[in-house]
Copies of this chain bind each other. A is one copy, B any other.
Amino acid sequence: MQPIRGWGNYFVSAGEPLEKREFTIDSVATDEVVVEVAGCGLCHTDLGFISGAVQTKHPLPLVLGHEISGKVVATGAQFSALQGKNVIIPAVLPCGECELCQAGRDNICQQQLMPGNDFHGGFASHIKVPAKFLCELPDDLAGFELAQLSVIADAITTPYQSLLRSGLKKDDLAIVIGTGGVGLYMVQHAKNAGATVIALELEQSKLDTALSQGADYGICTRDLDGREIKKQIKELVKTHRLPKTQWKVFENSGSSAGQELAFSLLSFAGTVGIVGFTMDKVNVRLSNIMAFDADVFGNWGCRPAYYPPVLADVLSKKINLLDNIELYPLSEMNAVLELAKAHKLTKRAILTPNR
Protein backbone atom coordinates (compact mmCIF):
# COMPACT_ATOMS: atom_id res chain seq x y z
CA MET A 1 0.00 0.00 0.00
CA GLN A 2 0.89 3.64 -0.38
CA PRO A 3 2.04 5.05 2.97
CA ILE A 4 -0.67 7.22 4.55
CA ARG A 5 0.45 10.24 6.50
CA GLY A 6 -1.89 11.20 9.27
CA TRP A 7 -2.10 13.06 12.55
CA GLY A 8 -3.82 12.60 15.85
CA ASN A 9 -4.24 14.04 19.32
CA TYR A 10 -2.14 11.84 21.58
CA PHE A 11 -2.94 11.23 25.21
CA VAL A 12 0.52 11.31 26.76
CA SER A 13 0.03 11.87 30.47
CA ALA A 14 -3.00 12.08 32.82
CA GLY A 15 -4.20 15.61 33.42
CA GLU A 16 -2.07 17.10 30.62
CA PRO A 17 -3.38 18.53 27.32
CA LEU A 18 -3.38 16.14 24.38
CA GLU A 19 -0.44 16.50 21.99
CA LYS A 20 -0.88 16.75 18.26
CA ARG A 21 1.50 14.34 16.53
CA GLU A 22 1.95 13.03 13.03
CA PHE A 23 2.20 9.38 12.07
CA THR A 24 2.55 7.20 9.01
CA ILE A 25 0.58 4.04 8.26
CA ASP A 26 2.63 2.03 5.81
CA SER A 27 1.14 -1.45 6.12
CA VAL A 28 -2.19 -3.13 6.74
CA ALA A 29 -2.80 -6.76 7.73
CA THR A 30 -5.01 -8.93 5.55
CA ASP A 31 -7.92 -8.60 8.00
CA GLU A 32 -7.55 -4.85 8.57
CA VAL A 33 -8.50 -1.63 6.83
CA VAL A 34 -7.50 2.02 7.18
CA VAL A 35 -10.36 4.45 7.78
CA GLU A 36 -10.09 8.18 7.06
CA VAL A 37 -11.92 9.55 10.10
CA ALA A 38 -14.92 11.81 9.47
CA GLY A 39 -15.86 12.26 13.10
CA CYS A 40 -15.28 10.80 16.55
CA GLY A 41 -17.60 11.32 19.51
CA LEU A 42 -16.24 12.37 22.90
CA CYS A 43 -17.45 9.93 25.58
CA HIS A 44 -17.28 10.01 29.38
CA THR A 45 -14.97 7.03 29.10
CA ASP A 46 -12.42 9.26 27.33
CA LEU A 47 -12.68 11.82 30.13
CA GLY A 48 -12.06 9.05 32.64
CA PHE A 49 -8.88 8.07 30.81
CA ILE A 50 -7.67 11.67 30.50
CA SER A 51 -8.24 12.45 34.17
CA GLY A 52 -6.27 9.36 35.15
CA ALA A 53 -9.26 7.74 36.91
CA VAL A 54 -9.23 4.80 34.49
CA GLN A 55 -6.19 3.26 32.79
CA THR A 56 -6.07 2.48 29.10
CA LYS A 57 -5.10 -1.09 28.21
CA HIS A 58 -2.57 0.11 25.62
CA PRO A 59 0.41 1.96 27.13
CA LEU A 60 0.65 5.73 26.65
CA PRO A 61 0.98 7.68 24.46
CA LEU A 62 -2.29 6.64 22.85
CA VAL A 63 -4.87 8.24 20.57
CA LEU A 64 -8.24 7.96 22.37
CA GLY A 65 -11.74 7.86 20.86
CA HIS A 66 -14.14 4.96 20.14
CA GLU A 67 -17.23 6.52 18.48
CA ILE A 68 -15.97 6.70 14.94
CA SER A 69 -17.32 7.15 11.43
CA GLY A 70 -15.25 7.50 8.30
CA LYS A 71 -14.31 6.25 4.86
CA VAL A 72 -12.20 3.20 4.07
CA VAL A 73 -9.08 4.34 2.17
CA ALA A 74 -6.88 1.24 2.30
CA THR A 75 -7.70 -2.45 2.77
CA GLY A 76 -6.09 -5.74 3.63
CA ALA A 77 -6.46 -8.54 1.13
CA GLN A 78 -9.53 -10.12 2.78
CA PHE A 79 -11.52 -6.88 2.77
CA SER A 80 -10.79 -5.22 -0.55
CA ALA A 81 -14.56 -4.97 -1.16
CA LEU A 82 -14.71 -2.28 1.53
CA GLN A 83 -12.47 0.13 -0.39
CA GLY A 84 -14.13 3.56 -0.62
CA LYS A 85 -17.05 2.60 1.63
CA ASN A 86 -18.36 4.75 4.45
CA VAL A 87 -18.42 2.87 7.75
CA ILE A 88 -19.10 3.13 11.45
CA ILE A 89 -16.52 1.40 13.65
CA PRO A 90 -18.25 -0.43 16.53
CA ALA A 91 -16.95 0.67 19.91
CA VAL A 92 -15.94 -2.88 20.75
CA LEU A 93 -14.64 -5.25 18.11
CA PRO A 94 -15.03 -8.93 19.10
CA CYS A 95 -12.86 -11.83 17.92
CA GLY A 96 -15.82 -13.71 16.44
CA GLU A 97 -14.38 -17.10 17.40
CA CYS A 98 -14.51 -17.67 21.18
CA GLU A 99 -17.27 -19.35 23.23
CA LEU A 100 -18.90 -16.00 24.03
CA CYS A 101 -18.88 -14.91 20.38
CA GLN A 102 -20.29 -18.26 19.30
CA ALA A 103 -23.05 -17.86 21.92
CA GLY A 104 -24.09 -14.49 20.47
CA ARG A 105 -22.56 -12.60 23.39
CA ASP A 106 -19.74 -11.08 21.34
CA ASN A 107 -20.22 -7.70 22.99
CA ILE A 108 -18.26 -9.06 25.95
CA CYS A 109 -15.79 -11.19 24.00
CA GLN A 110 -12.70 -11.38 26.17
CA GLN A 111 -10.42 -10.89 23.17
CA GLN A 112 -12.36 -7.81 22.12
CA LEU A 113 -10.51 -4.73 20.94
CA MET A 114 -11.69 -1.20 21.67
CA PRO A 115 -10.36 1.71 19.63
CA GLY A 116 -8.77 4.35 21.83
CA ASN A 117 -8.15 1.79 24.57
CA ASP A 118 -6.56 -1.35 23.10
CA PHE A 119 -5.17 0.45 20.05
CA HIS A 120 -5.00 3.98 18.60
CA GLY A 121 -8.49 5.44 18.32
CA GLY A 122 -10.52 8.01 16.46
CA PHE A 123 -9.23 11.41 17.58
CA ALA A 124 -7.06 11.38 14.47
CA SER A 125 -7.19 11.84 10.74
CA HIS A 126 -6.87 8.07 10.14
CA ILE A 127 -7.25 4.82 12.05
CA LYS A 128 -6.21 1.26 11.27
CA VAL A 129 -8.79 -1.28 12.49
CA PRO A 130 -9.80 -4.95 12.24
CA ALA A 131 -12.37 -4.99 9.44
CA LYS A 132 -14.60 -7.96 10.23
CA PHE A 133 -17.27 -6.17 12.24
CA LEU A 134 -17.37 -2.73 10.61
CA CYS A 135 -20.87 -1.40 9.99
CA GLU A 136 -21.10 -0.43 6.34
CA LEU A 137 -23.21 2.61 5.50
CA PRO A 138 -25.51 2.97 2.49
CA ASP A 139 -24.46 5.34 -0.30
CA ASP A 140 -27.35 7.65 0.55
CA LEU A 141 -26.85 9.08 4.03
CA ALA A 142 -30.35 10.66 4.00
CA GLY A 143 -28.92 14.15 4.31
CA PHE A 144 -26.65 13.38 7.26
CA GLU A 145 -22.98 14.29 7.28
CA LEU A 146 -20.85 11.20 7.77
CA ALA A 147 -19.26 12.74 10.90
CA GLN A 148 -22.65 13.12 12.56
CA LEU A 149 -23.24 9.38 12.44
CA SER A 150 -20.14 8.58 14.51
CA VAL A 151 -22.00 8.56 17.83
CA ILE A 152 -24.11 5.62 16.71
CA ALA A 153 -21.12 3.67 18.00
CA ASP A 154 -21.81 3.44 21.75
CA ALA A 155 -24.18 6.23 22.81
CA ILE A 156 -27.08 5.04 20.63
CA THR A 157 -26.31 1.34 20.26
CA THR A 158 -25.66 0.51 23.93
CA PRO A 159 -29.18 1.46 25.05
CA TYR A 160 -30.56 -0.37 22.01
CA GLN A 161 -29.01 -3.61 23.23
CA SER A 162 -30.48 -2.82 26.68
CA LEU A 163 -33.87 -2.51 25.04
CA LEU A 164 -33.52 -5.96 23.44
CA ARG A 165 -32.23 -7.51 26.67
CA SER A 166 -35.21 -6.13 28.59
CA GLY A 167 -37.82 -7.59 26.26
CA LEU A 168 -39.67 -4.25 26.28
CA LYS A 169 -42.74 -4.32 24.07
CA LYS A 170 -45.71 -2.24 23.01
CA ASP A 171 -47.80 -0.79 25.87
CA ASP A 172 -45.21 -1.71 28.53
CA LEU A 173 -44.13 0.88 31.08
CA ALA A 174 -40.48 1.94 30.74
CA ILE A 175 -38.87 3.96 33.54
CA VAL A 176 -35.59 5.57 32.48
CA ILE A 177 -33.32 6.80 35.26
CA GLY A 178 -30.79 9.39 34.06
CA THR A 179 -31.42 10.95 30.65
CA GLY A 180 -27.92 12.11 29.77
CA GLY A 181 -25.86 10.96 26.79
CA VAL A 182 -27.01 7.34 26.89
CA GLY A 183 -30.32 7.62 28.77
CA LEU A 184 -31.76 10.07 26.27
CA TYR A 185 -31.48 7.44 23.55
CA MET A 186 -32.87 4.83 25.97
CA VAL A 187 -35.96 7.05 26.14
CA GLN A 188 -36.16 7.21 22.35
CA HIS A 189 -35.66 3.47 21.80
CA ALA A 190 -38.31 2.68 24.43
CA LYS A 191 -40.76 5.09 22.84
CA ASN A 192 -40.09 3.61 19.40
CA ALA A 193 -40.87 0.16 20.86
CA GLY A 194 -44.34 1.45 21.76
CA ALA A 195 -43.84 1.75 25.52
CA THR A 196 -45.05 4.52 27.79
CA VAL A 197 -41.92 6.24 29.11
CA ILE A 198 -41.41 7.90 32.49
CA ALA A 199 -38.08 9.76 32.72
CA LEU A 200 -36.40 10.33 36.09
CA GLU A 201 -33.59 12.89 36.01
CA LEU A 202 -31.79 15.12 38.51
CA GLU A 203 -31.43 18.08 36.13
CA GLN A 204 -34.53 19.86 34.85
CA SER A 205 -32.85 20.85 31.57
CA LYS A 206 -32.02 17.23 30.73
CA LEU A 207 -35.49 16.18 31.76
CA ASP A 208 -36.98 18.80 29.43
CA THR A 209 -34.89 17.38 26.58
CA ALA A 210 -36.10 13.86 27.38
CA LEU A 211 -39.71 15.09 27.40
CA SER A 212 -39.21 16.76 24.02
CA GLN A 213 -37.70 13.56 22.55
CA GLY A 214 -40.18 10.89 23.55
CA ALA A 215 -40.68 10.68 27.32
CA ASP A 216 -44.39 10.75 28.15
CA TYR A 217 -43.88 11.86 31.74
CA GLY A 218 -40.95 13.23 33.68
CA ILE A 219 -40.03 13.57 37.33
CA CYS A 220 -37.20 15.86 38.39
CA THR A 221 -35.70 13.84 41.23
CA ARG A 222 -33.29 16.46 42.61
CA ASP A 223 -35.21 17.28 45.79
CA LEU A 224 -37.14 14.02 46.21
CA ASP A 225 -36.39 10.94 48.29
CA GLY A 226 -36.97 7.46 46.93
CA ARG A 227 -40.32 7.04 48.64
CA GLU A 228 -41.69 10.25 47.12
CA ILE A 229 -40.43 9.29 43.65
CA LYS A 230 -42.13 5.91 43.90
CA LYS A 231 -45.33 7.59 45.10
CA GLN A 232 -45.35 9.95 42.10
CA ILE A 233 -44.78 7.03 39.72
CA LYS A 234 -47.68 5.13 41.28
CA GLU A 235 -49.87 8.21 40.84
CA LEU A 236 -48.94 8.41 37.16
CA VAL A 237 -49.70 4.70 36.81
CA LYS A 238 -53.09 5.15 38.45
CA THR A 239 -54.07 8.35 36.62
CA HIS A 240 -53.06 7.13 33.19
CA ARG A 241 -53.99 3.46 33.69
CA LEU A 242 -50.46 2.25 33.01
CA PRO A 243 -49.33 -1.31 33.78
CA LYS A 244 -49.16 -1.97 37.53
CA THR A 245 -46.60 -4.75 37.13
CA GLN A 246 -43.79 -5.84 34.80
CA TRP A 247 -42.14 -2.41 34.80
CA LYS A 248 -38.94 -2.15 32.77
CA VAL A 249 -36.52 0.11 34.64
CA PHE A 250 -33.32 1.30 32.95
CA GLU A 251 -30.62 2.80 35.21
CA ASN A 252 -28.23 4.95 33.16
CA SER A 253 -26.93 7.39 35.76
CA GLY A 254 -24.09 5.17 36.91
CA SER A 255 -24.55 6.31 40.51
CA SER A 256 -25.31 4.38 43.68
CA ALA A 257 -28.34 6.62 44.26
CA GLY A 258 -29.64 5.77 40.81
CA GLN A 259 -29.05 2.06 41.34
CA GLU A 260 -30.79 2.07 44.73
CA LEU A 261 -33.71 3.90 43.14
CA ALA A 262 -33.83 1.37 40.30
CA PHE A 263 -33.79 -1.53 42.75
CA SER A 264 -36.59 0.04 44.77
CA LEU A 265 -38.68 0.12 41.58
CA LEU A 266 -38.64 -3.67 41.18
CA SER A 267 -42.20 -4.70 40.42
CA PHE A 268 -43.90 -8.09 40.05
CA ALA A 269 -42.33 -9.82 37.04
CA GLY A 270 -40.41 -6.57 36.58
CA THR A 271 -37.02 -5.99 35.00
CA VAL A 272 -34.20 -3.67 36.00
CA GLY A 273 -31.39 -2.95 33.55
CA ILE A 274 -28.06 -1.73 34.90
CA VAL A 275 -26.66 0.31 32.00
CA GLY A 276 -24.52 2.88 33.85
CA PHE A 277 -21.42 1.97 35.85
CA THR A 278 -20.14 3.00 39.27
CA MET A 279 -17.51 1.44 41.52
CA ASP A 280 -19.75 2.14 44.54
CA LYS A 281 -21.51 -0.74 46.23
CA VAL A 282 -25.14 -0.60 47.29
CA ASN A 283 -26.92 -2.26 50.19
CA VAL A 284 -29.96 -4.11 48.88
CA ARG A 285 -32.24 -7.01 49.75
CA LEU A 286 -31.40 -9.33 46.85
CA SER A 287 -34.30 -11.55 47.95
CA ASN A 288 -36.66 -8.89 46.62
CA ILE A 289 -35.73 -10.13 43.14
CA MET A 290 -37.09 -13.51 44.24
CA ALA A 291 -40.18 -12.14 45.97
CA PHE A 292 -41.07 -10.22 42.79
CA ASP A 293 -40.09 -13.08 40.42
CA ALA A 294 -38.09 -10.33 38.76
CA ASP A 295 -35.03 -9.92 36.55
CA VAL A 296 -31.98 -7.68 36.81
CA PHE A 297 -29.69 -7.56 33.83
CA GLY A 298 -26.51 -5.67 33.17
CA ASN A 299 -25.64 -4.33 29.77
CA TRP A 300 -22.12 -3.97 28.42
CA GLY A 301 -21.79 -2.22 25.07
CA CYS A 302 -23.56 -3.56 22.00
CA ARG A 303 -23.14 -6.42 19.58
CA PRO A 304 -22.02 -5.26 16.13
CA ALA A 305 -24.98 -7.24 14.76
CA TYR A 306 -27.33 -4.65 16.28
CA TYR A 307 -25.74 -1.64 14.55
CA PRO A 308 -27.69 -1.92 11.26
CA PRO A 309 -31.17 -1.61 12.84
CA VAL A 310 -30.00 1.36 14.92
CA LEU A 311 -28.48 2.97 11.84
CA ALA A 312 -31.79 2.50 10.02
CA ASP A 313 -33.67 4.21 12.87
CA VAL A 314 -31.27 7.17 12.75
CA LEU A 315 -31.39 7.55 8.96
CA SER A 316 -35.20 7.37 8.99
CA LYS A 317 -35.30 9.98 11.80
CA LYS A 318 -37.06 7.59 14.19
CA ILE A 319 -34.12 8.49 16.42
CA ASN A 320 -33.46 12.21 16.88
CA LEU A 321 -29.72 12.62 16.51
CA LEU A 322 -29.21 16.15 15.19
CA ASP A 323 -30.58 17.92 18.27
CA ASN A 324 -28.15 16.09 20.53
CA ILE A 325 -24.77 16.57 18.86
CA GLU A 326 -22.38 19.40 18.09
CA LEU A 327 -19.35 19.26 15.78
CA TYR A 328 -15.98 20.74 16.77
CA PRO A 329 -12.67 20.81 14.89
CA LEU A 330 -10.33 18.07 16.12
CA SER A 331 -7.56 20.69 16.15
CA GLU A 332 -9.39 22.44 19.00
CA MET A 333 -9.98 19.33 21.06
CA ASN A 334 -8.13 20.55 24.16
CA ALA A 335 -10.54 23.49 24.40
CA VAL A 336 -13.48 21.10 24.04
CA LEU A 337 -12.07 18.98 26.86
CA GLU A 338 -12.00 22.07 29.09
CA LEU A 339 -15.66 22.69 28.29
CA ALA A 340 -16.43 19.05 29.12
CA LYS A 341 -14.60 19.23 32.45
CA ALA A 342 -16.52 22.41 33.32
CA HIS A 343 -19.80 20.61 32.41
CA LYS A 344 -20.47 23.22 29.74
CA LEU A 345 -21.19 20.75 26.94
CA THR A 346 -24.94 20.23 26.70
CA LYS A 347 -24.70 18.09 23.56
CA ARG A 348 -22.49 15.18 22.53
CA ALA A 349 -19.28 16.65 21.08
CA ILE A 350 -18.03 15.15 17.82
CA LEU A 351 -14.46 15.98 16.82
CA THR A 352 -13.84 16.29 13.11
CA PRO A 353 -10.32 16.31 11.64
CA ASN A 354 -11.34 18.06 8.43
CA ARG A 355 -12.40 21.46 9.73
Taking beta carbons and an 8 Å cutoff, which residues of A are in contact with B? Answer: 99-100, 103, 105, 107-108, 110, 243-246, 254, 259, 263, 268-269, 274-301
Contact = CB atoms under 8 A, between A and B. Distances in A.
28 contacts: A99-B244, A99-B245, A99-B246, A100-B268, A107-B293, A108-B269, A108-B292, A110-B245, A110-B268, A254-B287, A259-B287, A274-B287, A276-B290, A278-B287, A281-B284, A281-B286, A283-B283, A284-B286, A286-B296, A286-B298, A287-B298, A291-B298, A292-B300, A293-B299, A293-B301, A294-B297, A295-B295, A295-B296
Contacts of A281: 283-286
A215 B297 CA distance: 28
B290 A285 contact: no
A105 B286 contact: no
Contacts of A290: 274-277, 298-300
Contact of A296 (B108, B289, B299): B289
Contacts of A277: 287, 290-291
A293 B289 contact: no
B293 A285 contact: no
Contacts of A278: 287
Contacts of A99: 243-246
Contacts of A283: 281-283
A353 B171 CA distance: 50
Contacts of A259: 286-287
Give the interface centre of A285, A290, A292 by most chain B CB atoms within 10 Å. A290
Contacts of A280: 285, 287
Contacts of A291: 277, 298, 300
Give the interface centre of A99, A278, A289, A293 by most chain B CB atoms within 10 Å. A293
Contact of A105 (B100, B108, B244, B269): B269
A274 B285 CA distance: 11
Contacts of A245: 99-100, 105, 110
A269 B99 CA distance: 11
B297 A246 contact: no
A295 B293 contact: no
A288 B245 CA distance: 26
A302 to B, nearest CB: 10
A192 B103 CA distance: 21
Contacts of A298: 286-295
Given A284-B284, A284-B286, 13 more contacts: A99-B244, A100-B246, A105-B293, A110-B268, A254-B287, A280-B285, A280-B287, A281-B283, A289-B297, A290-B299, A290-B300, A292-B300, A296-B297
